[in-house]
């Protein structure tokens, strides 16, 4: 059963002044990607427009863009909904994420600076705090941020852009919520080893650990969903 708009629309942030079309787009993308509005949820044009105090036109344009990105689906008589991924679709997207990350991680490690080290350490500490607090949504969002921090120095903007698009598609499913707490803890152990290799500028080791990490995560998700079914609000 999908969420009613009243359960998530308050997560949107009003604009300071007039809400432009790009602002409406960025806010809708943000709440979808961060899991604040879940797969299968309806996206009512009129209510969104009322929230931002805009006409239906910029809302529809924003939703059209999100359809192109794969985050939203539209049925002529069914309105707009957040995309629901099947188990195999999510599996495939996580394989793509792992492959794109593997293509850049050694170069990123070699080019990293002290500032990159500090950023990765800080996010890893936040990840540990999220695990301790059993804050699954925060852990999900920070896990992505940690991986992005390790890749940031790679000097491959197009690859990072592609990785961002793929990650945006997987994040609404909040895959970490499908896992047992012990499985999330094992993934966090992987993160600790990855951070150590990054700080030591050991790209070969980091690449190997990252491959194992992605394989473990994909296997856990497949196990949770039995390789099929919809990753939705149910």
pLDDT of residue 222: 86
- What class, spelled out in words, does domain 86-231 have in CATH? mainly alpha
Mean pLDDT by 10 residues, the chain (234 residues): 65 92 96 91 94 95 96 88 90 92 94 98 97 92 96 95 94 88 94 97 96 92 68 42
- What class, spelled out in words, does domain 5-83 have in CATH? mainly alpha
Give the separation between CA 218 and CA 230, rounded to whole angstroms. 16
pLDDT of residue 4: 56
Domain ranges of the chain: 5-83, 86-231
Give the separation between CA 234 and CA 221, rounded to whole angstroms. 16
Give the separation between CA 100 and CA 104, rounded to whole angstroms. 7
What angle, rounded to 10 degrees, do the helices at 45-52 and 56-68 form? 120
pLDDT of residue 10: 87
- Tell me if 206 sits within 8 A of 14, measured CB to CB: no
pLDDT of residue 2: 44
- pTM of the model as a whole: 0.84
User: What tokens appear for 128 in the block?
Assistant: 């540990």
Question: Residue with structure tokens 């998530």?
Answer: 8
pLDDT of residue 5: 64
List, for residues 154-206, the tens digit of each pLDDT value.
999 999 999 999 999 999 988 888 899 999 999 999 999 999 999 999 999 99
Give the separation between CA 3 and CA 7, rounded to whole angstroms. 6
Give the separation between CA 27 and CA 33, rounded to whole angstroms. 10
């Amino acid at each position: 059963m999908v969420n009613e708009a009243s359960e998530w629309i308050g997560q949107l942030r009003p604009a300071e002044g007039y809400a432009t079309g790009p602002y409406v787009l960025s806010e809708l993308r943000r709440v979808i990607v961060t899991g604040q509005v879940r797969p299968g949820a309806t996206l009512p044009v009129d209510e969104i427009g009322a929230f931002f105090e805009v006409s239906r036109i910029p809302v529809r344009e924003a939703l059209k863009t999100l359809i192109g990105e794969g985050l939203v689906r539209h049925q002529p008589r069914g309105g707009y909904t957040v995309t629901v991924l099947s188990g195999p679709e999510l599996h495939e997207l996580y394989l793509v994420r792992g492959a794109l990350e593997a293509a850049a991680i050694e170069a990123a490690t070699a080019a990293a600076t002290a500032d990159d080290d500090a950023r990765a350490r800080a996010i890893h500490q936040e990840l540990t705090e999220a695990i301790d607090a059993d804050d699954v949504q925060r852990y999900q969002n920070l896990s992505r941020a940690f991986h992005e921090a390790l890749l940031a120095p790679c000097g491959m903007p197009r690859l990072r852009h592609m990785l961002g698009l793929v990650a945006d598609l997987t994040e609404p499913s909040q895959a970490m919520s499908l896992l047992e707490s012990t499985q999330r803890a094992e993934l966090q152990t992987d993160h600790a080893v990855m951070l150590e290799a990054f700080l030591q500028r050991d790209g070969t080791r980091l690449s190997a650990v990252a491959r194992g990490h992605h394989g473990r995560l994909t296997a856990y998700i497949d196990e949770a969903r039995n390789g099929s079914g919809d990753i939705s609000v149910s």
